[in-house]
Amino acid sequence: MISLRHKAQLMSNIHCFGRNLVTASTSLLPVQLPRQREVHFWYVLPDEVKSTNLLNRYLEILSPCEKENIFSLRGEDIKKRALLARALVRTTLARYQTNFEIDPKSLKFRKNNYGKPELDWQYADDWSLPPLHFNISHTSSLIACGVTVGSPIGIDVEEKQRRLRNDTLAFAQRFFSPSEIDVLTRIADPELRLQEFIKLWTLKEAYVKALGKGFSASPFKTFTVRIRDRVKGDIHTPPHIISKAHDISVEPSDDLKNASSYWQFGLLDLAGSHYAAVCIEQDSIDTGNGSIPIELNLRKTIPYVEDECISATDSAVVIGGLTRLSEGH
């Protein structure tokens, strides 16, 4: 586990040299852009953000529209969540500075034709700026932002403890595909069934969000997400070393016209409390038989306060999909 807390403080001390040193760490730790097939997954836990000063600081970097939207919400928790979501997106994207420091407040956003939020990268003079894609998801206890370069991305997070008001199977029968209903029906234990349901839900959400055409374009019933066991190891591997991994695929894939791309998934158990699904578009020409994993770079953050790289040794486990957790860089 590498904590970049010390590094962040060191960097802000360097930046503060010659200036007023009254405020402690004020800078956002800059990071390198995600590489191809790499996903940066940033998340913040609302319960860890208590300081009113900090929340006001986040409010300051929002656009007037965003502020107005937050004031229109009812309930302090809901307001705080919305505020953190916007602050997370702005501060995260601002870290990917190339030649100059970016003020999070200066970022502009727009929506695509279907309403999916996108970055409106206004620094058009510098044509070397890569296309940054992002997607947000939140629950009441975790807010996440996934970032890639050059690949549409969708993410979804859900609490493992989530309870449905309806019966799991009734819900699935209403909204999931026949194959998925089949899978869930075969699970006898209601608790396990609910867990599997939640995993499928997050994967389906992530897929639709990655497609970026809205839910009405891809109703959940029209596609199937499959989580298949994949046994790792070959004939020389001793039986007790063979580890089970799970492949995740979607069918039919939406890109019927464009056979050269496909969608790759990652499913995580995050901090023991959440499932997180990630979906990105891959160019299958590059990947041949699709055996190159997504590199997932996981970072827990409190913007302006601290960042922490979460590696596979911490409480984050890849539980499905061709994905692996990488160390930060």
Partner 1 sequence: MASITSFSVTSFNQTHTLVPGCRISNSSSVFLSTKGRTFSPLTLQRRVPRFQIACAARPETVKKVCDIVKKQLALPDGSSVTGESKFSALGADSLDTVEIVMGLEEEFGISVEEESAQSISTVQDAADMIDELLESKSA
- Are the CB atoms for 55 and 100 separated by under 8 Å? no
Q: Is 50 in the site for partner 1 (CB under 8 A)?
A: yes
Q: Is 113 in the site for partner 1 (CB under 8 A)?
A: no
Candidates 89-97, 213-221, 246-254, 287-295; binding stretch for partner 1 (CB under 8 A): 213-221
**Size of the residue set binding partner 1 (CB under 8 A):** 43
Sole binder of partner 1 in the list 96, 201, 223, 275 (CB under 8 A)? 201
The DSSP line for 228-271 is EEEE---TTS-TTT--EEEEEEEES-S-SS-TTEEEEEEEEEET
Q: Is 74 in the site for partner 1 (CB under 8 A)?
A: yes
Nearest-approach distance from CB 150 to partner 1, in angstroms: 26
For Cα atoms 299, 302, 305, give the angle at the middle one, nearest 5 degrees.
Answer: 115
Return the closest-CA partner of residue 267 out of 200, 314, 208, 184. Answer: 200
Nearer Cβ to partner 1, position 38 or 196? 196
Nearer Cβ to partner 1, position 55 or 319? 55
Q: Is 244 in the site for partner 1 (CB under 8 A)?
A: no
Q: Is 114 in the site for partner 1 (CB under 8 A)?
A: no
Candidates 48-56, 277-285, 292-300, 306-314; binding stretch for partner 1 (CB under 8 A): 48-56
Count Cβ neighbours within 10 Å for each residue of 60-74 and write b for 16 or more, e otherwise.
ebbeeebeeebeeee
Indicate the SS3 state at residue 304. Answer: coil
Strands (E), the chain: 2-3, 38-44, 108-111, 117-120, 132-138, 143-149, 153-159, 224-231, 244-251, 261-270, 274-283, 294-302, 306-310, 316-320, 323-325
- Is there a cis peptide before residue 239, judged by omega within 30 degrees of 0? no
Nearer Cβ to partner 1, position 64 or 288? 64
The torsion defined by the Cα of 306, 134, 136 and 250, in degrees rounded to 10, comes to: -130
Q: Is 158 in the site for partner 1 (CB under 8 A)?
A: yes
Nearest-approach distance from CB 49 to partner 1, in angstroms: 9
Q: Is 215 in the site for partner 1 (CB under 8 A)?
A: yes
Q: Is 72 in the site for partner 1 (CB under 8 A)?
A: yes
In the numeric block, the tokens 């997070």 are attached to: 157
Q: Is 246 in the site for partner 1 (CB under 8 A)?
A: no
How many helices, marked H, and strands, marked E, lie in the chain? 8, 15
State both tokens at 121.
């990268």
Nearest-approach distance from CB 71 to partner 1, in angstroms: 8
Sole binder of partner 1 in the list 40, 80, 193, 274 (CB under 8 A)? 80
Nearest-approach distance from CB 216 to partner 1, in angstroms: 4
Nearer Cβ to partner 1, position 159 or 314? 159
Which residues are at the interface with partner 1 (CB under 8 A)? 47, 50, 52, 55-56, 59-60, 64, 67-68, 71-81, 83, 138-140, 158, 162, 164-166, 170-171, 174-175, 201, 205, 214-216, 219-222
